Amino acid sequence: MSIFRLLAGLVIVWCIAFGPSLTTAQVQDDAAQVLLQRLVEASNAERTAVLKHISESGDERARGWLEAFSAGKLATVKESGATVLVLNNVGRNWTIASALNGEDMGKVSRRDLATVRVNNSLRKEVEGLLAVIDLTAANPDVRLAAARDLLGEVDGALASLIEQRVQVEDSSAVRDMLTTALAIHQLEQGDVSAVETLSGSLNANARAALNNASNSDDPALAAAAVKALESIEQKLKMNRAAETLYFGLSLGSVLVLAAIGLAITFGVMGVINMAHGELIMLGAYTAWGMQQLFPGQPGLALILSIPAGFLVAALAGIAIERSVIQYLKGRPLETLLATFGISLILQQLVRTLVSPLNRSVVTPDWMSGSIMINEALSLTLNRLYVIGFALVVFAGLMLIMRKTRLGLEVRAVTQNRAMARSMGIKATKVDILTFALGSGVAGLAGVALSQITNVGPNLGQNYIIDSFMVVVFGGVGNLWGTLVAGLTLGTINQVLEPWAGAVLAKIMVLVMIILFIQKRPKGLFPQKGRAAEG
């Protein structure tokens, strides 16, 4: 008897503990079944009210029901009348699941199902209701996306719901977006007071609503809308200027990376290295090669390609210096021709060993996307990383030049080679290390370029002329001059391109540099020392 009493007690405790939850679940299922049955049986004119009741039911399954209805995947089983979700409607037999608990019910013939019909008007209604459901989500990003979807889509039925939601919303970004959506609706109804709310908005839907209002028959509304559009246009110009400056700085950063290694070698050795662009290309192909070694791990491959790209380009630079350049010192024309030949050889070598076609390097997730400053301005992350990378490389080179023995010897040889030799500095060793350093930095430029453009045999040719312009404009051998010149030319080129075109913009930049050199032959930051004076 004691065992039976124990079992009975356990049953009573189980009922007390779980009975209410089971009862609640059953009540929810019954209410849900009633709503779904009403949706199935209602006419199209009556379904709008039923859909609203479903969205306001608070049932976590409501979103799935509304999405299935909008997609034409809500149906009833003809024999039992049960409401089901169609998971796969391809072929004669469709895969279905219970609308109440999501339980897989296998496949049934499509003849045994009655699909709930939906039209475009009801689909639009469902889109608005789904947005309202998302406005109550715990994640503020979900609420913000839902509020953005409501822009230009608010009607009289949604307006009151949005007004209520604005009062309880704790996220300022979501609240502002909801206020904008509500103001657009009010403006469409002819409310002049809504113009003030939209006057500072950069959202495209808000501008479209103000444009429509500017053509209104109401003089007061039209005048207010025109004034608001004028203020918005001023903000848009400022944002376009900021975007142009950002793209100019990113282009300038690329030019700095491409030219800074050339500035070192040109300043120390006086060598016009036409193969510098191909050293950039080798760095870019190193980044591509690393991704082939580590497939599916673009972030790791990119990080490893930074030291690898430096080493590959540095070793190639040493090979060029030892095999060709050391025999042509003091003969700039012959050096130019020889390095131009080397550039053609390297291009053909890559075409033969890899491919003449361009290769794409996958951008890691943490470098993808953009940072949205406002509705009219966003900063792409890959260009932002390139700007930061260029500054880090520049800072590293400045430390090397200012804080190491190599930097001291490089500066000595740059200013006066003969005097440096007389003081015991091995100029030949300095030449080798300097050329390796400059070539390695070119490889780093190629790694950075692989994240913003395709990698191909002709990649370096696009930057060699610009690199020389930066070096000459900034001052031969001066790192600060290279930084300032690169960022300046990149910004100027980006400003000129929209209205002059890419080719004419480059010609104009070249003409400006020629005129500048006429006044300052030694560039922005000329060298100091006896050699510079000669």
Distance in angstroms (rounded) separating the CA atoms of residues 160 and 172: 19
Assigned token pair, 428: 């030949």
Domain assignment present for residue 16? The answer is: no
Q: What does the pLDDT read at residue 260?
A: 87
Q: What does the pLDDT read at residue 287?
A: 94
Domain assignment present for residue 168? The answer is: no
- Mean pLDDT computed over every residue of the chain: 82
Q: What does the pLDDT read at residue 533?
A: 46
pLDDT of 76 above 80: yes
pLDDT of 290 above 90: yes
Answer whether 448's CB lies under 8 Å from 389's CB.
yes
Give every CB contact of residue 123 below 8 A, 6+ residues apart in sequence.
70
- Top-confidence residue, 328 or 532: 328
Structural domain boundaries enclosing 433: 238-352+381-527
Q: What does the pLDDT read at residue 3?
A: 52
Distance in angstroms (rounded) separating the CA atoms of residues 383 and 365: 14
CATH number at residue 310: 1.10.3470
Q: What does the pLDDT read at residue 284?
A: 93
Domain assignment present for residue 465? The answer is: yes
Q: Tokens 């740059």 map to which residue? A: 414
Cα first-last separation, the chain = 116
Total structural domains within the chain: 1
Residue 85: which pLDDT band, with cuts at 50, 70 and 90?
confident
Q: What is the pTM of this model?
A: 0.72
Assigned token pair, 46: 């009556």
In this prediction, residues 494-512 reach a mean pLDDT of 82
Domain assignment present for residue 263? The answer is: yes
Q: What does the pLDDT read at residue 504?
A: 85
Q: What does the pLDDT read at residue 447?
A: 93
Q: Which helix (H) or strand (E) holds 98?
A: strand 93-98
- 114 backbone dihedrals φ, ψ, rounded to 5°: -120, 105
Query: Tens digit of pLDDT for each residue in 267-278?
Result: 677 778 889 999
- For the beta carbon of residue 122, count every other beta carbon within 10 angstroms: 16
- Top-confidence residue, 127 or 258: 258
Query: Tens digit of pLDDT for each residue in 458-491?
Result: 888 888 888 888 888 888 767 888 888 889 888 8
pLDDT of 224 above 50: yes
In this prediction, residues 335-362 reach a mean pLDDT of 90
Residue 23: which pLDDT band, with cuts at 50, 70 and 90?
low
Q: What does the pLDDT read at residue 29?
A: 66
3-state secondary structure of 341: helix
Q: What does the pLDDT read at residue 19?
A: 46
Distance in angstroms (rounded) separating the CA atoms of residues 304 and 302: 5
- Top-confidence residue, 78 or 531: 78
Residue 527: which pLDDT band, with cuts at 50, 70 and 90?
low
Distance in angstroms (rounded) separating the CA atoms of residues 109 and 501: 62
Q: What does the pLDDT read at residue 344?
A: 92
pLDDT of 262 above 50: yes
Domain assignment present for residue 190? The answer is: no
Answer whether 287's CB lies under 8 Å from 450's CB.
yes
- Which of the residue ranges 180-184, 291-295, 523-527 would you say has the lowest mean pLDDT? 523-527
Q: What does the pLDDT read at residue 360?
A: 87
Domain assignment present for residue 450? The answer is: yes
Distance in angstroms (rounded) separating the CA atoms of residues 25 and 415: 86
**Nearest CA among 164, 216, 219 for reference residue 189:** 216
**Nearest CA among 201, 131, 123 for reference residue 159:** 131
DSSP per-residue letters across 371-398:
EEEETTEEEEHHHHHHHHHHHHHHHHHH
Residues facing 104 on adjacent strands = 97
Identity at 182, one-letter amino acid code = L
Query: Tens digit of pLDDT for each residue in 357-394?
Result: 888 888 898 888 888 888 888 888 988 999 999 999 99
Domain assignment present for residue 480? The answer is: yes
- Top-confidence residue, 299 or 271: 299
Domain assignment present for residue 360? The answer is: no
* Best-predicted range by mean pLDDT (85-89, 182-186, 209-213, 281-285): 281-285
Q: Return the percentage of the chain with pLDDT > 70, whole number.
A: 91
Distance in angstroms (rounded) separating the CA atoms of residues 285 and 491: 27
Give whole-number Cα distances, 468 to 114, 433, 463, 471, in Å. Answer: 73, 21, 9, 5
Q: What does the pLDDT read at residue 37?
A: 80
- For the beta carbon of residue 341, count every other beta carbon within 10 angstroms: 13
pLDDT of 22 above 70: no
Query: Tens digit of pLDDT for each residue in 304-315?
Result: 999 999 999 999
